[in-house]
Structures are given as structure tokens and as C-alpha cells.
């Protein structure tokens, strides 16, 4: 009498993406929108194509100098890039909110 029964599964929310992953996907999307090749953008940024690839895949945490070099090579305003990354993280946060378990009083 008066017990609370829990039905359904309470799923853990998906963790927020790492900042470097969101940065990488934004940089890759910008490069692809421009039709740029990885090797050409890397050359303009003064880094190796392998390193740029790792940044785009979210495997490396680039320094602020590297971010500035790559965004410059893509002709992106750093403030715009950072604003878009913040928006991506916000959207992900709102999408991942789990609905709580169904509670019924017995």
C-alpha cells in the first residue's frame, strides 16, 4: 500500500560530445562545403594532412594557435566558428534530455 512502482527503463543520457569532436566536425563540414581537399587546407594552415585529419575526427586537442591556423586556412572568422560550436553543444544538450521513468502509485 502506498508503494511506488517503477516501470520502464531509466536510460542514462548520452554524454555531451567532447569539445574537440564538435570542433573537428565543424572544421570538416566547412572544408567540405568549400570543396577543399584535406591536403590543401593543411598546407595553407602549415600543418600535416594527418594532423588535420586527426583534428577533424576529434582525436587531437589542438592548441589555440592550431585552431586559428586552420580557421584562417578555411577563411572562417574564429568568433563565428566558436559560436557555431557553442550552438552545436547547446542543441545536443537539449536533444539528450531523457524522459524520466514512469511512476505509478500502487
- pLDDT, tens digit (0-9, with 9 covering 90-100), for 41-66: 999 999 999 999 999 999 999 999 99
Percent of the chain that is helix, strand, coil (3-state, to 5): 55, 10, 35
d(CA 50, CA 44): 14
- pLDDT number for residue 26: 96
Predicted pLDDT of residue 85: 94
**Maximal C-alpha separation, the chain:** 71
pLDDT at 105: 46
With cut-offs at 50, 70 and 90, classify the pLDDT of residue 15.
confident
* pLDDT in the model for residue 69: 97
Residue 5, SS3? strand
Between the CA of residue 12 and those of 21, 66, 95, 97, 99, what are the distances in Å? 21, 35, 13, 9, 10
CATH top-level class of 17-91: mainly alpha
Name the grid cell of 69: 591556423
Q: Is the pLDDT of residue 7 over 80?
A: no
Where do the domains of the chain lie? Answer: 17-91
Q: What digits encode the pLDDT tens for the residues 93-106?
A: 777 655 544 444 44
Residue 72 CA to residue 93 CA, distance in Å, equals 29
Cell of 41: 587546407
Q: Quick one: pLDDT at residue 16?
A: 79
In sequence order, what E strands does the chain have?
Answer: 4-7, 102-105
pLDDT value of position 77 = 95
Amino acid at each position: 500500500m502506498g508503494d511506488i512502482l517503477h516501470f520502464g527503463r531509466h536510460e542514462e543520457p548520452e554524454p555531451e560530445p567532447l569539445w574537440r569532436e564538435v570542433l573537428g566536425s565543424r572544421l570538416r563540414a566547412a572544408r567540405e562545403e568549400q570543396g577543399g581537399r584535406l591536403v590543401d587546407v593543411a598546407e595553407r594552415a602549415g600543418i600535416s594532412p594527418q594532423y588535420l585529419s586527426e583534428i577533424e575526427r576529434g582525436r587531437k586537442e589542438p592548441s589555440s594557435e592550431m585552431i586559428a591556423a586552420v580557421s584562417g586556412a578555411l577563411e572562417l572568422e574564429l568568433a563565428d566558428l566558436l559560436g557555431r560550436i557553442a550552438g552545436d553543444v547547446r542543441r545536443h544538450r537539449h536533444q539528450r534530455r531523457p524522459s524520466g521513468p514512469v511512476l505509478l502509485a500502487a
